[in-house]
Structure 1
Amino acid sequence: MRIGNIFLLVLLVLPFHGLASSALSLHADKVLVDKSHKRLYLIRGGEVLRDYPIVLGKNPVGHKERAGDGKTPEGEYTLDWRNPDSKFYRSIHISYPNERDMQKAQERQQDPGDLIMIHGSPAWVPSVQWAKQWLHREDWTDGCIAVTNDIMDEIWNLVPDGTPIVIRP
């Protein structure tokens, strides 16, 4: 009888074996942003895990060149640190400016800007659904990539620090 119970237990547990490890393996190994289509893709092993709508800097066309230009950078960067207490809910830092950006800004004798993030909604936005939807219709950031707070929670959980991000025009 005891062996029968153990056998039954094994049969019940076996289908769930590995679920925890497979959930952990869902972390993205790359983030791709397509500015022209206003989409952010989480990628693992060349396959899209998730894709999300985004809003960009208030002047979204073209590569960020200087502080205050309202543009979202284009190029290859790293998601290198995060802020759980951001005034925009949560935020993950994009390593802009990179060396190329710094060199070009220096040639123009301009400040390239910094603190470009993927972030959620500003704290001042009411929690009502219509306000959140309104906020995510038009490009409004200073160069960051904004998503809704529920999307930010998913990105936060699926993208570890050190993940490369490619931002395409």
Structure 2
Amino acid sequence: MLNKIFIFLLMCLGLIPSISIANPDVWLLVDTEKLSMEIKKGDKTVAVLNNIAIGRNGAGEKNHRGDDVTPLGNFRIGWINESSNFRKFYGLTYPNVEHADNALKKGKINLDTYESIARAQSSGQIPPQDTNLGGQIGIHGLGSANLSIHKSMNWTHGCIALTNDQIDQLSQWVEKGTLVTVK
């Protein structure tokens, strides 16, 4: 309990970056079968972004770094890079405890890694991005990438890609802490 209070105080003082609590009514629903993203406000859909791209190997359980699979689950936007090579990058809080639990049971990560991911999630921090499960999963634009490739195939290493126009549209709705459900 004292550790949580100490961490909270350090976050309040700005000594530890935390994932802010975004508008709880706004959230994203990513449908990896329809290749669409709904921007939701409560139960109401306020915008739909179609023809998104996901990992080269589809969506599902991410087994290891470099498997080109987009992970399923509930995440938060943990960080924002406004000057990404992909125009903008909204980093997801992947891996989460559910992914870590599965990986620990299958021997893909050790207990220390699991506990590190669990601590990050419980304290509102970004989970370690350098585990065997991978990291740096997010939502991004194309930057200078080829639009025709984006329209014709899933091409990412596990991220969710939008066109540059779509990522600009998305930026008016999301902030650090926004919930993202990938199904």
TM range (shorter): 0.7 to 0.9
Q: Could you tell me whether the CA contact under 8 Å between 1:93 and 1:116 is conserved in 2?
A: yes
Q: Identify the residue that residue 32 of structure 2 maps to in structure 1.
A: 35
Question: What runs of 5+ residues in structure 2 fail to find an aligned partner?
Answer: 1-22, 109-131
Alpha carbons of 1:27 and 1:153: their partners in 2 closer, same or farther (altered >3 Å)? farther
Q: How many angstroms apart in 1 are the aligned matches of 2:162 and 2:49?
A: 8
- Following superposition, which runs of at least 4 residues in structure 1 exceed 4 angstroms of deviation? none
What is the SS of the residue equivalent to 2:136?
coil
Question: What runs of 5+ residues in structure 1 fail to find an aligned partner?
Answer: 1-25, 126-130
Residue 104 of structure 1: how far off its partner (Å): 2.1
2:142 counterpart of 1:121 = yes
Q: How many angstroms apart in 2 are the aligned matches of 1:69 and 1:91?
A: 20
Q: How many angstroms apart in 2 are the aligned matches of 1:68 and 1:158?
A: 30
TM-score, length of structure 2 as denominator length: 0.69
Q: How many angstroms apart in 1 are the aligned matches of 2:24 and 2:49?
A: 16
One-letter amino acid of the structure 1 residue matched with residue 70 of structure 2: T
Equivalence map 1:67-146=2 (5 Å): 67-110=65-108, 111-123=132-144, 125=145, 131-146=146-161
One-letter amino acid of the structure 2 residue matched with residue 59 of structure 1: N
Q: Could you tell me whether the CA contact under 8 Å between 2:24 and 2:178 is conserved in 1?
A: no
Q: How many angstroms apart in 2 are the aligned matches of 1:82 and 1:47?
A: 25
Q: Deviations over 1:111-140 (max 9, x none)?
A: 1111101001143x3xxxxx4133332001
Instruction: Name the larger-Rg structure.
Output: 1
Equivalence map 1:6-21=2 (5 Å): none
Alpha carbons of 1:143 and 1:49: their partners in 2 closer, same or farther (altered >3 Å)? same
In the comparison of the two structures, how many residue pairs are matched?
137
Q: How many angstroms apart in 2 are the aligned matches of 1:146 and 1:27?
A: 24
2:160 counterpart of 1:163 = no
Residue 99 of structure 1: how far off its partner (Å): 1.1
Q: Could you tell me whether the CA contact under 8 Å between 1:60 and 1:139 is conserved in 2?
A: yes
Q: Identify the residue that residue 121 of structure 2 maps to in structure 1.
A: none
What is the SS of the residue equivalent to 1:155?
helix
What is the SS of the residue equivalent to 2:152?
coil
One-letter amino acid of the structure 2 residue matched with residue 34 of structure 1: D
RMSD: 1.9
